[in-house]
Homo-oligomer: A and B are copies of this chain.
């Protein structure tokens, strides 16, 4: 608006060259100022900045991308249909963290859904065109081919969670092991004696770790681990019902249940109610994820909270590091590139 009078004689947007002319310096110098190089004298920098302001200069991203071979954009790839994206708070929390961390930079975030085959096809094309400098992979299944594709294209990527104990990609996970342990520890401290576990899908590494944590929690309390107390579910409400039913058949005297997800806990709650048991009086119940379900359940559900938003931030940090570090193609170790963030038990009335 005001102050942006001179717009370059050619009518279009001003270019580096025009800024250079106006500031009485060379093209290279302007480029250096724009990119924050330290090798510019203060006087020159000031002159260039003045010219930039006067002309209302904005760098042409396409030209920069072409010359520098980078795009200043990263993609958040969601291998799920959009419906689930909106339904699960996981994604909204993640997006918030990612967005917040990214707002400190010049990087642009692209949200890409890859739920259908069509969409995956499109994504592959997109990645092949190297239209992003890096990729954030969330909620990836163990057998997904995407990580391999990214490796082949040499596109830096960070994954949320780990696909297995031998995860090869830089990753940010929450402490599922610690979360499981904390849940059991809490139940023990509340004086519960027979603690069951409704496990998630065992092909999900995080679910395995929760089981491991559950076991260790019992051992820590010098309790014997009875494998029949561990019933696998599939993270669904129906799965939770079935698992709970089975558990009740095996152990009618059970007095505590740790579910691998809030949704499963909701299923378990129904079965417990139907069997005439009160929560928490007869049976204590703990979920996982600390989702809206947990807060709105009757009674409110004790649950293990994962720091999703922080995970998003951490993923960006890692990814930006990966992108910056790729000039020296040194394939550094994974030590510092696999983070595990603590999970936290949120105690409510159900335990």
Contact = CB atoms under 8 A, between A and B. Distances in A.
A129 B128 CA distance: 25
A60 B122 CA distance: 16
B58 A66 contact: no
Copies in the complex: 2
Interface residues of A, number: 35
Contacts of A66: 60, 62-63, 66
A275 interface: no
A125 B108 CA distance: 12
Interface string A50-68: 0000001011111101100
A129 B59 contact: yes
Nearest to A126: B108
B110 A110 contact: yes
Nearest to A70: B62
Interface string A106-133: 0010110100001100100110111100
- Binding site of A, secondary structure by majority: helix, strand, loop or mixed? helix
A58 B92 contact: no
A113 B62 CA distance: 22
A99 interface: yes
A128 B13 CA distance: 9
Contacts of A56: 128
A253 interface: no
A99 B114 CA distance: 12
A128 to B, nearest CB: 5
A65 B63 CA distance: 8
A92 B118 CA distance: 20
Nearest to A125: B58
Contacts of A122: 103
A122 B102 CA distance: 12
Contacts of A111: 111
Given A86-B92, A108-B126, 7 more contacts: A58-B128, A61-B65, A61-B131, A62-B63, A65-B65, A86-B89, A103-B118
